[in-house]
Structure 1
Amino acid sequence: MTDTLFPTLAASATSATPAASIAIDSERLWQSLMTLAQIGATDKGGVCRLALTDLDRQGRELFVQWATEAGCTVRVDAIGNIFARRAGQDASLPAVATGSHIDTQPTGGKFDGNYGVLAGLEVLRTLNDAGIRTVAPLEICVWTNEEGSRFVPVMMGSGVYASAFTLDHALTAADREGVTVADALKSIGFDGKDAASVEAGAPRFGAYFEAHIEQGPVLEDADIPLGVVTGALGQRWYDVVVTGQEAHAGPTPMGLRRDALQGATGLMQTVNNIAMNEQPNGRGTVGYVQVHPNSRNVIPGRVTFTVDFRHPDDAGLSRMDAALRKACAALGVDGRLEVTVAQTVYFPPVKFAEQLVRAVRDGAARAGLAHQDIVSGAGHDAVYVARVAPAAMIFVPCKDGISHNEIEDAKPEHLAAGCNVLLHAMLDQAGIAA
């Protein structure tokens, strides 16, 4: 595999050309982020703009307006993904794309997802300002329902695009009020039924980059402004149910109890130990616990809890899976407690395309930015896109590693640095027209 998708063309973007010294307008990028953040702004300084609501419509329409003003042709597919294309010299070449999402958590921030979309827009605006035309087309993607706060599955738009699940499965998903995705898309006018629509799963890309805040503390802790994302952790999620027997807390001696909570808490500690044995990148989390009957003077008869395992390779995930199942089987061996384990989610680990990872790394070095390789612990649209196109990601720090929170924050200079690296990585892949 060559260093670029179009090696003979991308070679024109050398240090001898004006393109080597161009930089994005950091103030314009910041103002775009702040303007979009006003749509669904919360009293605490965050954003609540759930997927396919009227606020999402407003955010989408603002992006479409900006992309159109930047000279893009805008299309929408059947799951509501938006594709804004800047024409290249050779329309037959697959586009070099970038993007993310603009839907948020109920108590979301200004940068999660939004940064990746508007960084892509700033790249196109910068190329317009410099009068630079690329050989291959450039594309900005706004993926539908990445967060999964209103509809499941998460990463819905990119999942349909990459055929991780079917369009019909996504369109029939419903929120808590019974509104389906199909109905919600139609209500906001983004169901891909107009003349500018494209089929779900199109267009295909020659390369895809996604810029994102890290959503964790690693870069900030190391005081490094840019992360070169080499891949994403695989994930296995489980529902675990421990069943014992309810009994009166007073008359029942400790040695004769069938206390489901005592058994469950031991398993929860085991989850943590399993992850600690898979360092530095193993993760283990119990995020949800339900105790029945949840009464002060009743010994718990049933406990349901979730397990979230993450690891950068499948063998590690398999070891974690085996260790969990072994611990659950051991707990139930004496017959006092019954334990069931059901896997609910499996995302295989993702390794991003080496040539694109190298383009990000080279772009950071060219800009004189301290950087480090990093593995994403969260799911992103790039994880699905990587199934059908070469993909890579760029991380920038966020304050205290906090995300999915109204206090989510990032420094303008870090956002600008990541966007500049995105600019040059995309140019490396798309080539500059003579």
Structure 2
Amino acid sequence: MTSTIRINRERLWRTLMELKEIGGYDDEATGLRGVRRLALTDADAEARRRCVQWMTEAGLDVRVDRIGNVYATRPGRDRTLPCVLMGSHIDTVATGGAFDGTLGVLGGIEVMRTLNDAGVETLRDVEVGFFTEEEGVRFGIDMLGSAVTAGRIPLDQAHKLTDADGKTVEEELLRIGFDGDAHERRPIPYAYIECHIEQGPLLADAGVDVGIVEGVQSISWQRLIVAGEAAHAGTTPIESRHDAGLVAAAVVVELRRMCDSGEFGRLRATVGTFDIGAGQTNVIPHRATITVDLRNPDDKLMTAAEQHLADYVEALAQAHGVTTTWERMAKTAVVPFDAAIQDVLAATADDLGLPYVRAMSGAGHDAQEIAAICPTAMVFVAGEHGGISHTPREYSNPDACGNGTDVLANAVLRLAQQP
């Protein structure tokens, strides 16, 4: 039986706090220090270079692929065997915190340091990596780098994606120096484990620091464009209006009704952007654009919800004399994680004396993409303030981060010793 190792918690916390300052900003809404590190920006480039520095200082062999994913390898005794891979992302949303994604990457680097400190030689290579544009905030497709390496999105398609200023992924990779030469379809790992903050309240409510993730629920992103007719606010009768803003607002209300009804199971719906352009006080909006984010742990109920919404919007458009256009941004089905890897994580937590719960992820993760190519599972780490995330209030305490990373380290070690 493989002996138990323990990561250096103080060292892990120092790296988390150091990386937090790259892209750090003072958030007026919360009065806290937040992180704004959108993919392939200057801040992201600086954070990437810092992580690569830590990887090389740990004696790891670093490579960068053609979508900008970065991997670092600690060689095992048998280089012909597939590796055990850890990873996540270091890009953030515009109002992010220090832990989302970053914990999995820096925790993985800390696992490598711990293996070095303990003088442990593994049978298999162990790798840690971070993937490009997990959040999807800048270029519109989440889990982009992992989706490319798993083969769901072709490299050429990913390279051509543009941000709000018309800059492409390929141009920005070149600009920041992370247009690597390694092939984007990476060698298939033996197993992949991602450590990530929960971003929800389940672990905290259960009073545990660690969660074993059973899978990721279905995610649907769509953009709805409503085209109406501008007209005078004072002279146009209500019954004669073609109000794009009203139609968009009605969709928001209907989405909440759908969630509250229970008709579509545990549906969650969010309109994250609502744009009526350069609106004027006394002019009826002629155009509205909203994004619709749907989540559901049941694929059939997700399909039913999407169909209901499409029918509702069509009827609404006819009633108000507007036209509507749907644009698909992203769609992923429910992704179950590997039962055997989950069992390794559970046994590891038991051996460490760490209570845990099993949970379904409400958020999307790189792990759901990598699950298409190798056995995959995730370790969740509890957060405070109800597990709130995507805000500077995001916080997981040092003990929780340490416990989750201990589970990661020992599960990876077990897998890396398997013939």
> Fold conserved (TM > 0.5)?
yes
User: For residue 397 of structure 2, what is the amino acid of its counterpart?
Assistant: K
Distance 1:291 1:168 in 2: 32
Deviations 1:140-170 (A, max 9, x none): 0121222233334332221211112122222
Match of 2:192 in 1: 208
Contact 2:264–2:301 (8 Å) recurs in 1: no
User: For residue 131 of structure 1, what is the amino acid of its counterpart?
Assistant: G
2:249 to 247, 265, 273: 265
**Residue 100 of structure 2 is aligned to residue 115 of structure 1:** no
Contact 2:210–2:354 (8 Å) recurs in 1: yes
Distance 2:166 2:48 in 1: 23
Deviations 1:313-369 (A, max 9, x none): 321111111211232233345575555544432122211111112222222233232
Match of 1:37 in 2: 20
Per the normalisation by structure 1, the TM-score is: 0.86
Distance 2:322 2:159 in 1: 41
Match of 1:322 in 2: 307
1:17-416 matches, cutoff 5 A: 19-20=3-4, 22-43=5-26, 44-193=32-181, 198-243=182-227, 245-254=229-238, 257-276=241-260, 277=262, 281-291=266-276, 294-332=279-317, 336=321, 338-400=323-385, 401-416=387-402
Contact 2:93–2:135 (8 Å) recurs in 1: yes
Q: Residues 241 and 180 of structure 1: is their aligned pair in 2 closer, same or farther, counting only changes over 3 Å? A: closer
Give the secondary structure class of the aligned counterpart of 1:374: strand
**How far does residue 214 in structure 1 lie from its aligned partner after superposition?**
1.5
Residue segments in structure 2 that go unaligned for 5+ positions in a row: 27-31
Q: Residues 432 and 65 of structure 1: is their aligned pair in 2 closer, same or farther, counting only changes over 3 Å? A: farther
Give the secondary structure class of the aligned counterpart of 2:129: strand
Give the secondary structure class of the aligned counterpart of 2:221: strand
Distance 1:23 1:232 in 2: 28
Contact 1:274–1:323 (8 Å) recurs in 2: no
Q: Share of identical aligned residues, percent?
A: 42
Distance 1:219 1:59 in 2: 29
Give the secondary structure class of the aligned counterpart of 2:190: strand
Distance 2:221 2:257 in 1: 17
**How far does residue 426 in structure 1 lie from its aligned partner after superposition?**
1.1
Distance 1:246 1:157 in 2: 41
User: For residue 109 of structure 2, what is the amino acid of its counterpart?
Assistant: L
Residue segments in structure 1 that go unaligned for 5+ positions in a row: 1-11, 14-18
**How far does residue 206 in structure 1 lie from its aligned partner after superposition?**
0.8
User: For residue 408 of structure 1, what is the amino acid of its counterpart?
Assistant: E
Distance 2:76 2:401 in 1: 26
Q: Residues 290 and 172 of structure 1: is their aligned pair in 2 closer, same or farther, counting only changes over 3 Å? A: closer
**Residue 409 of structure 2 is aligned to residue 423 of structure 1:** yes
Distance 1:38 1:314 in 2: 40
User: For residue 268 of structure 1, what is the amino acid of its counterpart?
Assistant: V
Q: Which of 178-187 and 311-320 deviates more?
A: 178-187
Give the secondary structure class of the aligned counterpart of 2:379: strand
Q: Residues 250 and 350 of structure 1: is their aligned pair in 2 closer, same or farther, counting only changes over 3 Å? A: same
Bigger CA radius of gyration: 1
Distance 2:106 2:174 in 1: 25
Distance 1:335 1:114 in 2: 46
Aligned residues between the structures: 412
Per the normalisation by structure 2, the TM-score is: 0.89
Q: Cα RMSD between the aligned structures?
A: 2.6
Give the secondary structure class of the aligned counterpart of 1:309: strand
Distance 2:90 2:374 in 1: 22
Contact 1:246–1:300 (8 Å) recurs in 2: yes
Contact 1:249–1:298 (8 Å) recurs in 2: yes
User: For residue 281 of structure 1, what is the amino acid of its counterpart?
Assistant: R
User: For residue 296 of structure 2, what is the amino acid of its counterpart?
Assistant: H
User: For residue 383 of structure 2, what is the amino acid of its counterpart?
Assistant: C
Give the secondary structure class of the aligned counterpart of 2:372: coil
Distance 2:132 2:71 in 1: 11
Contact 1:132–1:432 (8 Å) recurs in 2: no
User: For residue 272 of structure 1, what is the amino acid of its counterpart?
Assistant: R
Give the secondary structure class of the aligned counterpart of 2:33: coil
Distance 2:177 2:233 in 1: 58
Q: Which of 270-279 and 243-252 deviates more?
A: 243-252
**How far does residue 267 in structure 1 lie from its aligned partner after superposition?**
3.0
Distance 1:288 1:267 in 2: 13
Match of 1:6 in 2: none
Contact 2:247–2:320 (8 Å) recurs in 1: no
Distance 2:19 2:278 in 1: 46
User: For residue 221 of structure 1, what is the amino acid of its counterpart?
Assistant: D
